Every structure is written in C-alpha cells, then in structure tokens.
A and B are shown apart, each in its own frame.
Chain A
C-alpha cells in the first residue's frame, strides 16, 4: 500500500472503507508529517490530541458501518475559520488569544461528515495578501524550489499555509477562502488543485469576514476528485448566512465523467496581457489543445472590462474590510491596549493589533467611503463591477466554461514585491474578475516553468455550475499528467 501521506484523499477514503488502514494509523502518519513540516511555518496551531480523539471516534463509526463521506480524513483548516475552543486568529495579533465558543458552518459540516482536524493553517493577516508574508506568524515557505536554487519562495496567499501543507503532504486536504484569488493563486504556486465555488455555495457563517460580498470558502487538495469530495461536504444552505443559497448540493464527484464532447470552452482575448511570458502562453495554448483533443470546441471570447477588475476589486474589498474590521475594538474579544478614554483605547488597540497591509486597506476603505468620495470611488467601482459581471453573463451565453492561466508568474522569492503594493496586487489579475462576478473557478497544476516551478491553469464556470468546471478540470488533469513533486515532502 502507498504510504498514508502519499495517498490522495480519495485513495485514503477507499483504503479506510476497505479497512486496509485505520483512521488512527492514517492520522498518526499525518501528525508526524505536520511535525516534520514545521520549517515551512504552514500551521499556526497544531491539534494532535484532538486529531487522535477524532480518529478514534472515526474508527468506532467505521467499525459500526456508520461512516460519513469524509470519515477519518485528516484535514488542515485555514485560520480564518472559527473552530470551537481552538485558537482562530486570522493570523492577526488583534485576535491572538481568541478561542471561539462556536464552530463555523463549513467546518461543522466537515466534522459532521467524519473529517479530522490536524490544525489551523497560516495565512495572510485577515486574508489580505498574495504572498502569505503579511501574517503575524511570519511567511509560509513554499515546499518547491527553483532548479539549482536554494532561495525560499512564497507559497502564495492568502491561503498560503493551506497550499504548502497540501503540497508537502502534511494533510490530505485543506480549507481555503478566496476573496480575489486567495485559493487559486496559492494552489497555482504550489502545484495543487484549489477551487473557489460560486458565491453563496458555502456558508460564510463563522468565517472571519474580510470583504463580505466576495469572500467564499473552498477546498484545496492534490486532485480534482479530492476537491469535488471536499466541496460536497463543505457546501450547503445555511440560514445563518443570508447570502447562502438554497440549492441542493450535487454529488460533485459524479460530475467527473471524463466526457466533455461538445463542451464550448471560451478563451478570453483580454487575458493575453502585455508582458505575459512565452512559457505561460504556451501552457495556456496547450490546455486549450488538450480540451479540444477531448472533444471540446474552442471559442475566442471577449470580456471587455477585464483590465478594470483589479482597481475595482481594491476599492470594493478595502471598503468592505474597513467596515468589517470595525468590530475589533478591544471590548468584546481579542487584543486590548488600555487608554485613558474609550477613544484612546480604540486607537491604541487597533494601532497595535493590525499589521501594515491591514491598516493600509482600512485607511483606503475609510477614504473611499468618506463623505465627498463615496460616489467617485465606491459607487464608481460598484458600477464597474456590474459591467464585469455582465461580461461574464454574456460570455456564458456562448460558452460553457472559460480557460485562462491562474497567475501571471510562478512563485516568487520571499520578501519580493513587499515595497510595491500594486506589483503584489497584480498577482491576482486573472483571478479577481471571476471573484467580482461570483463565478465558480478552479486552478489546477498544468505544467512546470523553465525554472521547474508549477504553473496553474484556471477554469471559470457559470454560477452554480461547479459540476461542469470540475468535469473539464478532470479532463485537463488527466491530459496534463502533472506528477512533479516539490523539493520538500514532509514524510516518507
């Protein structure tokens, strides 16, 4: 049998069901892997005892024939999800001692289905970043290295800990959240699969809010099938989130038929951005050839407002963040720095508790929402967002799915782009438009750069049509046969 940490989630599930391995053995192997991977700084908090307890309960249910769809599967959870009595900090000093007394709906769904918590995963502070370097716990190291180089690379962000832990084989899967690319970009940087479902598919209840009109939870794992399995458990209507949609959750795994004959795949010409590398363009073309060879029809399409997506995103996301983060006031939870008056206490608490990038976005958000600027910035951005969503609606009248690269480059060295916020934001140029429009989108590893680093392709689908996205992704995955492994793997 394959070593427990080398299995995919689907293989582990089948091995557990066939009683070839116990949940305890599977979880113990992963606890060792989490320890071995400490140099990556992927975890903010490890929960080995809880994991063993949950594994024992899983073994009992497996023995009784009462196993859930994820019974005994060890997962990592991004630290943005509230987990009952387990630190949940959003990688911010302002929440360093926060232990929620409740469980987020998405994680509760995972435990309901039998999954096991290995620990909480590092991320950019409040999910604001594309490198994981803004975390109060420090950056996450990408397990990959460029050929012939020892330079440490970023794992991407904001779900960088999730991506690194999955890539280094410490967890069988992880949760991420995606506001402008925070699942897809780190998935691309680490050679794994990550999916942002349609806005409204997964409940946001108990997910620490960044930009509520954009935030969406999703799965990160080592195969398209594993993401399909995780998404089925994570998704579902929740009365506690008024934007969660009352739609039945399909068995996403069943969508992986491998048959995409007649599928119309759109190639948006506006994504051929200036300065795109030759190798990325080649990979994109290769992806479209693979889909065509499997019977899909390739259609050139236009998403005319693409180049306006990033500035639109930064106005809307910062505005919502400045409003959401107003709750950190030193009164109800988290850090408190005393002051002589209430106002001084607020100022001191928030000044000490938030990192620089978070402060910058709060200030931008406050500015664009302030009297005299609201129309010029915030309302303008909301109007452009309408146009961007319309681009997608019109495109999906002609095609079933859209193929693009996930990121403009492969992973970059830790510490780079830190002094230029706009250069950092450009990481999300291909992922932000789908976020603004609420479409489901997946990133999967499709090849290696000349430096030997993973490059991802993105598939974007119609709202609530994750099944078509997954089906097409399954075909791409099969064609790409991506089998390269990172320089660092946690355990045998």
Chain B
C-alpha cells in the first residue's frame, strides 16, 4: 500500500481541501489503486531522456515591459465573494 489514511489527510491538508472522514477512507483505496496502476511506468528505462516541458518547441515569447491594462479594479472585484473599499476581504491573518 502506497498511501494510508494519514497520508491522505496530509495531502488533503497540503491541497487545502477539506475531506470528510468517510470520504478519506474511500480515497485511501482509490488513490492506492491509481498509484499502483501508474507504477507500470517503472518498467520503462528513461535514462538520459529529457523530461518534456512543452510540446511546442519554441523559446518563451517576450513583450515590452509596459503597462497594457488600465485601472479595472471594479471589474476585477466584481466577482469577489466579499470586497470593500477596492480590496478583497479575507479573514484576519495577523493578530
């Protein structure tokens, strides 16, 4: 078994996803099954093979470092669950 309940809880915490206890139990089995299945890749010798970064073989395009957008804070905040005074509002993070 590759992952156990505590590993599932740990990665759920890393991913910031709340997982209910019964869901976590089910995920142990599902994740193990998927991870065991992907382990077939170990049959392949990939020594000296470069990992692919992109199927598009080209250098990163650059643009002039200039401001291209005007002030559109109203549009940016339009979908915020909570906004005030031109800012996103979050729970208190400093005491």
With A362-B17, A367-B31, A383-B46 in contact, do A101 and B75 touch (Cβ < 8 Å)? yes
Which of B20, B31, B44 is close to A360, meaning CB atoms less than 8 Å apart? B31
B55 contacts A343, C-beta separation under 8 Å: no
Residues 340 to 363 of chain A near chain B (Cβ within 8 Å): 340-348, 350-352, 354, 356, 359-360, 362-363
Determine the chain B residues whose CB is within 8 A of the CB of A385 once the complex forms.
Answer: 51-52
With A199-B56, A200-B56 in contact, do A314 and B46 touch (Cβ < 8 Å)? no
Determine the chain A residues whose CB is within 8 A of the CB of B91 once the complex forms.
Answer: 338-342, 344-345
Determine the chain A residues whose CB is within 8 A of the CB of B66 once the complex forms.
Answer: none
Nearest B residue (CB) for A307: B40
Most central of B38, B41, B51, B82 by chain A CB within 10 Å: B38
B38 contacts A314, C-beta separation under 8 Å: yes
A335 on interface, CB distance cutoff 8 Å: yes
The CA-CA distance from A305 to B41 in the complex, in Å, is 10
Which of A133-141, A326-334, A454-462 is near enough to bind chain B?
A326-334
Determine the chain A residues whose CB is within 8 A of the CB of B49 once the complex forms.
Answer: 383, 386-387
A302 on interface, CB distance cutoff 8 Å: no
A336 contacts B79, C-beta separation under 8 Å: no
A353-377 vs B, CB cutoff 8 Å, 1 = contact: the mask equals 0101001101110110010000001
With A243-B54, A245-B56, A364-B34 in contact, do A333 and B80 touch (Cβ < 8 Å)? yes
Main SS at interface, chain B: loop
B81 on interface, CB distance cutoff 8 Å: yes
A438 contacts B56, C-beta separation under 8 Å: yes
The CA-CA distance from A351 to B53 in the complex, in Å, is 31
A364 contacts B31, C-beta separation under 8 Å: yes
Which of A199, A322, A332, A380 is close to B55, meaning CB atoms less than 8 Å apart? A199
The CA-CA distance from A335 to B51 in the complex, in Å, is 36
Which of B15, B27, B37, B41 is close to A381, meaning CB atoms less than 8 Å apart? B41
Determine the chain A residues whose CB is within 8 A of the CB of B39 once the complex forms.
Answer: 311
A363 contacts B8, C-beta separation under 8 Å: yes
A45 on interface, CB distance cutoff 8 Å: no
A347 contacts B51, C-beta separation under 8 Å: no
A429 on interface, CB distance cutoff 8 Å: no
B16 contacts A346, C-beta separation under 8 Å: yes
With A350-B16, A383-B49 in contact, do A334 and B81 touch (Cβ < 8 Å)? yes
A312 on interface, CB distance cutoff 8 Å: yes
User: Taking the nearest CB of chain A, how far is it from the CB of B62, in angstroms?
Assistant: 9
B40 contacts A311, C-beta separation under 8 Å: yes
B60-73 vs A, CB cutoff 8 Å, 1 = contact: the mask equals 11010000000010
Determine the chain A residues whose CB is within 8 A of the CB of B88 once the complex forms.
Answer: 331-332
A420-435 vs B, CB cutoff 8 Å, 1 = contact: the mask equals 0110000000000000
Which of A363, A380, A383 is close to B12, meaning CB atoms less than 8 Å apart? A363
Determine the chain B residues whose CB is within 8 A of the CB of A152 once the complex forms.
Answer: none
User: Taking the nearest CB of chain B, how far is it from the CB of A245, in angstroms?
Assistant: 7
Determine the chain A residues whose CB is within 8 A of the CB of B84 once the complex forms.
Answer: none
User: Taking the nearest CB of chain A, how far is it from the CB of B30, in angstroms?
Assistant: 6
The CA-CA distance from A97 to B95 in the complex, in Å, is 32
User: Taking the nearest CB of chain A, how far is it from the CB of B76, in angstroms?
Assistant: 8
The CA-CA distance from A331 to B81 in the complex, in Å, is 6
User: Taking the nearest CB of chain B, how far is it from the CB of A243, in angstroms?
Assistant: 5
Determine the chain A residues whose CB is within 8 A of the CB of B51 once the complex forms.
Answer: 379, 382-383, 385-386
Which of A245, A322, A329, A332 is close to B79, meaning CB atoms less than 8 Å apart? A332
B23 contacts A356, C-beta separation under 8 Å: yes
Determine the chain B residues whose CB is within 8 A of the CB of A193 once the complex forms.
Answer: none
Nearest A residue (CB) for B54: A213
Most central of B15, B39, B78 by chain A CB within 10 Å: B15
The CA-CA distance from A242 to B72 in the complex, in Å, is 23
Nearest B residue (CB) for A392: B55
The CA-CA distance from A314 to B30 in the complex, in Å, is 14
Determine the chain B residues whose CB is within 8 A of the CB of A334 once the complex forms.
Answer: 79, 81
A322 contacts B41, C-beta separation under 8 Å: no
The CA-CA distance from A434 to B49 in the complex, in Å, is 19
B5 on interface, CB distance cutoff 8 Å: no
B1 on interface, CB distance cutoff 8 Å: no
B27 contacts A98, C-beta separation under 8 Å: no
A308 contacts B40, C-beta separation under 8 Å: yes
User: Taking the nearest CB of chain A, how far is it from the CB of B70, in angstroms?
Assistant: 13
A residues within 8 Å of B by Cβ? 97-102, 199-200, 213, 239, 242-243, 245, 305, 308, 311-312, 314-315, 322, 326, 329-336, 338-348, 350-352, 354, 356, 359-360, 362-364, 366-367, 370, 377, 379-387, 389, 421-422, 436-438, 463
Query: What are some 17 contacts across the A-B interface (CB < 8 A)?
Result: A213-B54, A239-B63, A305-B44, A308-B40, A308-B44, A311-B39, A332-B76, A332-B79, A335-B81, A342-B90, A342-B91, A344-B91, A364-B31, A383-B51, A383-B52, A386-B50, A387-B44
Besides A97-B79, A242-B60, 16 new A-B residue pairs in contact (Cβ under 8 A), listed by A number: A308-B44, A312-B41, A315-B38, A333-B80, A334-B81, A335-B81, A336-B81, A347-B16, A348-B18, A360-B34, A362-B15, A363-B15, A364-B35, A367-B11, A384-B44, A385-B52
